[in-house]
Amino acid sequence: MIIKKYKRALENEKESRTYFEDLSDVPTTAQMTAWAAEISKAEAARINKPEVMDVMGPKIKKGS
């Protein structure tokens, strides 16, 4: 069990490092525009479907 978790940690180390490095990057104008559109769309739909406000939900990988 521990070996399995260790191997998974090694596999995910590079992805985690990249993710945290990306947190310090300044977003481009195109990214800001895309995010603003995504947020506006979610806010418009939230009255009838509140779960659309979790715009990051589909982008977050689930651990196993």
Q: Is 57 exposed, middle or buried (0-12, 13-18, 19+ CB in 10 A)?
A: exposed
Domain ranges of the chain: 2-55
Tell me the pLDDT of the chain averaged across its residues.
81
Contact status, residue 46 vs residue 53, Cβ threshold 8 Å: yes
Residue 58 confidence (pLDDT) above 70: no
Going by C-alpha positions, the residue among 19, 10, 1, 4 that lies closest to residue 61 is 19
pLDDT in tens, 17-30: 888 888 888 888 99
Segment 27-48, tens digit of pLDDT: 889 989 998 998 888 888 878 8
| Model-wide pTM > 0.85 | no
Provide mean pLDDT across the span 37-60: 77
CA-to-CA distance for 64 and 42, rounded, in angstroms?
29
